[in-house]
Structure 1
């Protein structure tokens, strides 16, 4: 039986408003122990920002993280999937777009995120990526 995205996604995604500063999003990443946060404007998904985005698009460019908005450094446009989509289709979408994470939306609301780690744990729990993804975060 085909597995749906809802079966592998991480629910309750962390979001941040698009006009928040890079400093604020970095603190949220630290506090939440995550490397990516969904960027929203109200209820509308605008992008996804990763810790790498903060380094490459803000710090390495000499921009002031207190004055730089998260929207100006986030990745977009956003490719999304729905909870009822086939997980194999999500894998193909990630592969064809070179993505590590896909926001999951339903009725215009973000309901989760599916990552390559989530998929690795479900598809081959003995793989190195699954082991790494299931491990507790480094502190």
Structure 2
């Protein structure tokens, strides 16, 4: 199955100049854990996750009402083309230990696909389960 058939096409984005509080509120309103950060309409710059907000800002005492997304987002992007397969998405998610992939065509964001999207389709050899097990492999905490 192709990513274009699985992805969420209506994706709301924020700009790097929005605050972390605006990002958190939007996540709450949409019941999601990630917001794509875009400029010039749909040109993807990065992602902000609920984890980014908590670990990079809240845990350090940052004022999320004034802190800008640009300073806390994940700028390293792994993305997928809408013509790729669900198997390729699962492979990328496992390899990079991520749960969501922006779908990008010719430099423009056209959607997003999550591990949950993969889990509801019949892909070969349970790639979604494999990807999730790879994503969920814990790092060794320094206690």
CA distance in 1, matches of 2:27, 2:109: 18
Once the two structures are overlaid, the 10-residue window that deviates more, 35-44 or 86-95, is: 35-44
Q: Give 1:102's aligned residue.
A: 101
Counterpart of 2:60 in 1: which secondary structure? coil
* TM alignment of 1:44-83, pairs within 5 A: 44-83=43-82
**CA distance in 2: counterparts of 1:52 and 1:19, whole angstroms:** 19
Instruction: Establish whether residue 84 from structure 1 lines up as the match of residue 86 from structure 2.
Output: no
Give TM-score, length-normalised by structure 2. 0.80
1:30 aligns with 2:28: yes
SS at match of 1:65: coil
Q: Distance in 1 between matches of 2:98 and 2:122?
A: 17
Structure 1 unaligned blocks of 5 or more:
131-139
In structure 1, the partner of 2:136 is none
Q: How does the TM-score come out when normalised to structure 1?
A: 0.82
How many residues get paired? 125
Report the Cα distance in structure 1 between the residues aligned to 2:17 and 2:40, rounded to whole angstroms: 11
Long gaps (5+) in structure 2: 130-143
